[in-house]
Chains A and B, each alone.
Chain A
């Protein structure tokens, strides 16, 4: 009779036989479960974060943002600004080369900036200042401006979508509204197009010819040294519990964004640890639609602001106390432009004041159509809390459940809520997207011409932003940022709901994760 133990031994032997021979043949393989699926491989065409992360693997940038939100040179070696602030000259560092061996030249840079400047919001703003871009030498390019601009480096070093990645001229000349199909970059990894299976996996191999900077890696700056031969993104593993199981068994090395509910379990698993590589994290917000009643009135929007209590949102949505904090600033807390200006109305929930404000506003009981995404665990509880607090303040709330994709389609509609439009939705931003008045899409207040959904109309904010864009002195820029925020709270552009982090979970043998605003895989060691 075959004993159970014998069966177990046989099974273990078979299991060992099944270990993928490829894993040994391919050297050190870092197996990552990214936070989402990767489908679009052109990080200029879309603002999707997965496409941005793909971009960081294979492209390099002129400047970058370090872990403390400071802009530092990356592909640029030295740069100068003329006394009148209208001519910026940049010299590229030596040794820069694309994956096909061709050197990176100033012509590649100019073509890349032109394409990026057609798509990215900050890039578009920068291009309104640019008179011309010149390439006096293969390693030198010049930005000639019509007038001084205070955010040249901020734009060139912006860490989040759309990032001004440098592509070969032949690729960068692609129509900005068409996706590229040549993924030659000059970054630390090379994309294996032949191994890319959408919805299954994306593979990157080490760019052995990459010349890193000498400084230590920090955020998107410094020496991007690669210590693994291959990085595999597992795009098929989307189920949160299966992700935890796979990490526990050692089938994957890193989970980029575990579900908040999983942290308790993850901390109990031997050989697994949790690490916060993005201390600036994310900020939650609820957005009002200023086109339609009741939020077409500032007084009504301010009544909602008075009703909101950040702690309630954070507790319900994140739950883990150590992973969230309240933040009165519309610009990411602990970054240069963070301020408390104008936030008194949200300092603490004041339901009595909210009711008074609502009554004084002449609110007629028009229901607030609040869109709730049921399939996006990271934000799906925010609308419930918002609805409850607003009801307590006296609002009528029509909480409508839908999937996220329906929500993102519906929020683009300017129709009244009764005709398929909306009044309010909640979302989350990564820190770099909102840390400056120029990058913060929620502060785009050009009314119906505005880029982002909700269409607030406040010329004063636009005027202050224009001053901010031209100001070169950091102290004065901070003062302007505070004025912008104070006006934004007075107008009620949106409600910031506090900040949170979403640490990665990884196997204990994985070290060297770069701290900064994003998911980067240089500097990572696998023991």
Chain B
């Protein structure tokens, strides 16, 4: 097990190196000059050239890459062109809102979708099952921003229950923190509820057709125990896998949600950095996301051992 973890952690190094090289090169090939953006609309060509020199963008790409890599090896992701602060500090500032939003979304998604999927499989072909399948199609189809506007209109503007936008740090108090997260999390969770519920239902239908379920029922076990302890436990691996994929998809989902709800998180930071061609920030954020993605995948793989004792590393 420990060897497996060590091997997986070591394997993240080439992944991150490839990501770093690709991101660096792609950004340099993308049209757009950060110096022109920073200089402002009325700036002259000379002023832009001066800024380019001050940012080190006049140096050959290979030299720029060497400087960046040498900084990374010292744990320094560089300084943002646009925000003029260290990228690590910028990520640290923006991490809490995104982490909170993603965590709440996942908690809501799992707490709602797994029971729904279990019930749908249990009542396979019934009205509940068909309703859930209808809901999942809707959940997949409705764009996040449309759902966000609908929820804001009803819950915030008509009922006045929750704020329209913004984010409060947990240090500002738990309730202000929570009430600013409820709508964004519900908005973002709908698509994951649809996804996880469908996978849960499919896995459960398969598990409920197994011999050991028939045996459990023949033994006279309560249906709830049959469903949870026997069927769900055996159907858990694909469900956990799809939750892991959901974490990766969340990285994209938070961009739109953070924009609509004005949450200053990593998603919004990515958009701002891309629009401003803020190379160090884009590179830093993508490296960070890649690392998170690799770690989440590792955790998912490790969790298989818990859900299926037959799996050994």
Contacts and interface: CB of A to CB of B under 8 A. Distances in A.
Interface of A: 8, 11-12, 14-15, 17-18, 20-22, 37, 39-41, 46-49, 51, 119, 121, 161, 177-179, 197-201, 234-239, 241-242, 245-246, 248-249, 251, 375, 402-403, 405-406, 408-412, 427, 433, 441, 451-453
B275 A15 contact: no
Interface string B46-77: 11101100100000000000000000000000
B295 interface: no
A177 B43 CA distance: 13
A150 B48 CA distance: 29
Contact of A47 (B31, B40, B179, B261): B40
Given A12-B160, A245-B165, A199 B272 contact: yes
B42 A403 contact: no
A408 B149 CA distance: 32
B276 A405 contact: yes
A412 B48 contact: yes
A199 B83 contact: yes
A235 B43 CA distance: 23
B40 A46 contact: yes
B44 A8 contact: no
A46 B175 contact: no
Contacts, number: 160
Interface in B11-45: 31-33, 36-45
Interface of B: 31-33, 36-48, 50-51, 54, 80, 82-85, 90, 93-94, 149, 152-153, 156-157, 159-168, 172-173, 175-176, 179, 259-264, 268-269, 272, 275-277
A452 B44 contact: yes
A247 B272 CA distance: 23
Contacts of B45: 412, 451, 453
Nearest to A245: B164
A15 B162 contact: yes
A450 B157 CA distance: 52
A26 to B, nearest CB: 13
In the A-B complex, list the 5 residue pairs whose CB atoms are closest, starting with the nearest: A47-B40, A409-B33, A451-B44, A200-B264, A198-B83
25 contacts: A15-B160, A15-B161, A17-B175, A18-B175, A20-B168, A46-B39, A47-B41, A47-B43, A121-B44, A178-B54, A197-B264, A234-B166, A236-B165, A237-B165, A239-B259, A245-B164, A249-B157, A249-B163, A405-B37, A408-B41, A409-B33, A409-B277, A441-B44, A451-B44, A451-B45
A427 B48 CA distance: 18
A39 B165 CA distance: 21
Contacts of B47: 119
Contacts of A409: 31-33, 36-37, 277
B275 A375 contact: yes
A253 to B, nearest CB: 14
Given A199-B269, A242-B261, A246-B165, A408 B83 contact: no
Contacts of B179: 14-15, 18
B31 A199 contact: no
Contacts of B163: 18, 249, 251
